[in-house]
């Protein structure tokens, strides 16, 4: 058995007395994709913030490599190899891809006080790392991030995290804002990271995307873990019904259809 890389034990988080998360226990192993499913407001964002060191849990513990850890800041989590990529890639639209890739980790050249940011190397590495993840359209590190598509920006952020040694990759709704083709590309990259032995926490409300790549699944409802299962143990309908709060999606869909009526063409 492979030991879990990241483990949460009964983690709770409350803001001003109201519980955002209650007693969540999760674990993710190297080379595995853990899908966190939940509707809007289920507590996914809070959980991500706890995992990435933005919030400290009110109670419960976090273990990395079997050792108990307290994250004082995102930097602490980052130092242990936990990297978070946000929905819009956490990138800077008006910066060049090379500057963005190396932000906070700039390679420098020259002697003090004339240390300078080695933009040439930065550009070469950025282009090379993006090409590894299948983005061949970017050939120039000085291109502005804002000129990339949503999928390319996600790829840039993931490539950055992997390049700087991420062992746990937390992806916050990476496919939600993307078209079908780009979402597929991002899913492919998730599988690539998984194959490299990275533990991936894939946060989404899209059941199809989750089922395409997930090894293990956890469903959050109102800050509580409502269900937990491994690949193949649930059908898509079961998961959607659960996420919608137990109401049968099929019944809702039927009601919706009766309200809208048959579509009329002009």
Cα of 226 vs its chain's centroid, Å: 20
Work out whether 117 is an interface residue with another protein (CB under 8 A): yes
The stretches of the chain forming alpha helices (DSSP H) are 44-51, 74-79, 97-101, 119-132, 150-163, 180-195, 207-213, 236-243, 249-260
Q: Which one among 30, 31, 60, 74 touches another protein, defined by CB under 8 A?
A: 74
Work out whether 140 is an interface residue with another protein (CB under 8 A): yes
Tell me the closest approach of the beta carbon of residue 161 to another protein, in angstroms.
Answer: 10
Q: Which one among 52, 126, 216, 240 touches another protein, defined by CB under 8 A?
A: 52
Question: Three-state DSSP class for 112?
Answer: coil
Tell me the closest approach of the beta carbon of residue 139 to another protein, in angstroms.
Answer: 5
Work out whether 104 is an interface residue with another protein (CB under 8 A): yes
Work out whether 75 is an interface residue with another protein (CB under 8 A): yes
Work out whether 146 is an interface residue with another protein (CB under 8 A): yes
Work out whether 93 is an interface residue with another protein (CB under 8 A): yes
Q: Can you tell me the distance from the alpha carbon of 264 to that of 202, in angstroms, rounded to the nearest whole number?
A: 40
Q: Residue 38 phi/psi, 5° resolution?
A: 175, 150
The answer to whether the CB of 24 falls within 8 A of the CB of 36 is: no
Binding residues for another protein (CB under 8 A): 52, 74-75, 78, 84, 86, 90-95, 99-100, 102-106, 108, 115-117, 137-140, 143-144, 146-149
């Amino acid at each position: 058995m492979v030991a879990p890389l990241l483990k949460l034990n009964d983690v709770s988080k409350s803001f001003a007395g109201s519980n955002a998360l209650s007693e969540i226990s999760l674990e993710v192993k190297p080379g595995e994709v853990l899908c966190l499913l939940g509707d809007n407001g289920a507590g996914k964002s809070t959980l991500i913030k706890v995992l990435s060191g933005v919030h400290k849990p009110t109670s419960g513990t976090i273990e990395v490599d079997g050792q108990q850890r307290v994250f004082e800041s995102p930097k602490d989590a980052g130092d242990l190899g936990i990297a978070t990529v946000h929905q819009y890639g956490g990138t800077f639209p008006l910066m060049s891809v090379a500057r963005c890739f190396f932000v906070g980790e700039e390679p420098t050249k020259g002697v003090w006080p004339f240390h300078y940011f080695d933009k040439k190397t930065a550009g070469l590495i950025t282009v090379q790392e993006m090409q590894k993840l299948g983005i061949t359209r970017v050939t120039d590190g000085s291109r502005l991030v804002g000129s990339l598509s949503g999928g390319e920006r996600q790829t840039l952020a993931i490539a950055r995290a992997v390049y700087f040694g991420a062992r746990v990759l937390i992806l916050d709704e990476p496919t939600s804002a993307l078209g079908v083709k780009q979402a597929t590309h991002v899913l492919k990259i998730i599988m690539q990271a998984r194959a490299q032995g990275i533990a991936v926490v894939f946060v989404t409300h899209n059941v199809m995307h989750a089922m395409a790549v997930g090894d293990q699944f956890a469903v959050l409802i109102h800050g509580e873990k409502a269900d937990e299962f491994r690949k193949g143990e649930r059908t898509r309908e079961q998961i959607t019904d659960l996420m919608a709060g137990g109401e049968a999606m099929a019944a809702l869909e039927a009601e919706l259809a009766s309200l809208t009526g048959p579509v009329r063409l002009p």
